[in-house]
Amino acid sequence: MAKILFLLALMTSLTGFGKEANAEVAEEGKDIKTEIDAYIQHHLKDAHDFNLFSYTDGEGNKKHVGFPLPVILWDEGLHFFSSSKFHHGETLAQSGDKYYKLYHSKIYRTDAEGTINYDEEHHPTNVKPLDFSMTKSVVMIIFTGLLMFWLFRSLARSYTKNDGIATGAGRFFEPVILYIRDDIARSNIGEKRYQKYMPFLLTIFFFIWFLNMFGLTPFGVNVTGNIAITTALAVLTFLITNFTGTKDYWKHLFDPLGDSMPWYGKLPLYVILIPIELLGLFIKPFSLLIRLYANMQAGHIVIMSLIGLMFIFKNWIGSPLSFGLAFAISLIEILVALLQAYIFTMLSALYFGFASEEHEHAEAH
Amino acid sequence: MTIPRIVGAGLIVIGVGVGIGRIGGQAMEAIARQPEAYGKIQTAMLIVAALIEGIGFAALFATAEA
């Protein structure tokens, strides 16, 4: 324990050396705060090339270490080229007779000079082609999918080979899977129907958990902090809830009072009640997506801001303190990664449970 | 960073803090009353905290600037 504390103290104090390295950056005239701001914004967004890191070498050239990804656009025809044509946003890419410019991680169609027309709020008004590119997030999703496939296939195979006992790395996942089956699925959905929903719940749990964890690594992939991806997951929950809903589910939605009142008594109530129920139908998955997106995005912003704070404080007290704080917040983010995956899965199971309710209270109606 | 935005963000954080603090406090009391139900109470507390936090984050993103 004392050795760990000593190592931690040593690491945090070494960040005080950063002040010499950054002296040249400040003299360039660029305010370091705007530079950090731009750096953070760039890292929160998706990118069309897998840029591991970039550095400035001795002559002042910016060098990037990474590899470009294919750009696939649909703009009156299919355009397919490598994102190295963009040169990290410095040049235009020409495909056929159309020119494209990469501006803040989005691709716009421009003319040969690369003009971008802005409106009053400084948002570009150029035409955007339909972008089906393989961006960093897509690569991460495919990688996570393959990782999950390999991991759980080997777990399943180890069951058949070892007569019901798991071996290898899959042993770590067995209690997690059992927890999802017993405490999340069975208690929310009920004994009769929980088997149908198990594949989706398991997939969503491990998918979100692994993606959240990959977002914390230095590769800089912010997948679940992308509102498009969380929207897709929430839409899946929404579709599954409504397409596997029993008749009682829809009955409770549109006719909650049932036979207890005559129709002329129910009508004024339903004028208010049914819009609220319909609104609730959409707000429940919407809160799922907002919760996951905001938690992940805010976590990344906080960690990167604290690391940036390390470069603003160029003395021996501020930098190590900021590093220590960033380190502590990173540990909390590891907990939040697991917690958000658990919450998403649990609430999805809860909504599935609502959708598959049976008509138990026969006498009350 | 106009004043109404800042005041709004502060109010949101007060609301979230009060909500999660209350649920945490009542969870502590419940655990003290019945220590063997620690697991279930902890699970329920985390679920409610995540729900409150979800609303808080959504509201915070509404007060942020473009």
Quote the pLDDT of residue A315: 81
Residue type, B8: G
| DSSP string computed for A6-63 | HHHHHHHHHGGGHHHHTHHHHHTS--HHHHHHHHHHHHHS--SEEEEEEEE-TTS-EE
Tell me the per-residue pLDDT of A326-359, one tens digit each, with 9 for 90 and over: 899 999 999 999 999 999 999 999 888 888 877 6
- Give me the sheet containing A106-110, strands edge to edge: A93-95, A98-103, A106-110
Residue A60 — very low, low, confident or very high, per pLDDT cuts 50/70/90?
Answer: low
Of A233, A242, A226, residue with least CA distance to A206: A233
Residue type, B43: T
CATH of domain B14-63: 1.20.20.10
Residue type, A166: A
- CA angle (B6, B10, B15) in 5-degree steps: 150
- Given a contact cutoff of 8 angstroms between Cβ atoms, the answer to whether A41 and A50 are in contact is no
Chain B: closest CA distance from residue A18 (Å): 30
| Interface check A298 vs B, CB under 8 A | yes
Which residues does A39 contact at the CB level (< 8 Å), separation at least 6?
A304, A308
pTM assigned to the model:
0.82
* CB spacing of B58 vs A295 below 8 angstroms: no
- Residue with tokens 């690569």, as numbered in its chain: A139
Distance between CA atoms of residues B33 and B27, nearest Å: 10
Tell me the per-residue pLDDT of A217-272, one tens digit each, with 9 for 90 and over: 877 678 888 888 999 999 999 999 888 888 888 877 777 776 677 777 777 888 88
Quote the pLDDT of residue A362: 47
Q: List phi, psi (to 5°) of B36.
A: -75, -15
- Given a contact cutoff of 8 angstroms between Cβ atoms, the answer to whether B51 and B4 are in contact is no
- Given a contact cutoff of 8 angstroms between Cβ atoms, the answer to whether A231 and A137 are in contact is no
Residues in B touching A291 (Cβ below 8 Å)? 50-51, 53-54, 57-58
The residue extents of the domains of chain A are: 59-134, 138-355
Token pair for residue A305? 């801001």
Quote the pLDDT of residue A25: 46
Highest mean pLDDT among A4-18, A33-47, A312-326: A312-326
- CA angle (A72, A149, A208) in 5-degree steps: 75
**Does position A320 have pLDDT exceeding 50, yes or no?**
yes
Highest mean pLDDT among A16-25, A140-149, A257-266, B42-51: A140-149
Token pair for residue A20? 């010499």
Distance between CA atoms of residues A53 and A132, nearest Å: 25
Bridge partners, residue A102, by sequence: A107
User: Average pLDDT for residues A124-148, to the nearest whole number?
Assistant: 85
**Does position A26 have pLDDT exceeding 60, yes or no?**
no
Tell me the per-residue pLDDT of A154-211, one tens digit each, with 9 for 90 and over: 888 888 887 767 677 777 888 899 889 988 888 888 888 888 889 999 999 999 999 9
Which residues of B sit within 8 Å Cβ distance of A?
43, 46-47, 50-51, 53-55, 57-58, 60-61, 66
Distance between CA atoms of residues B42 and B27, nearest Å: 7
Q: Which residue has the higher pLDDT, A147 or A19?
A: A147
- Given a contact cutoff of 8 angstroms between Cβ atoms, the answer to whether A213 and A267 are in contact is no
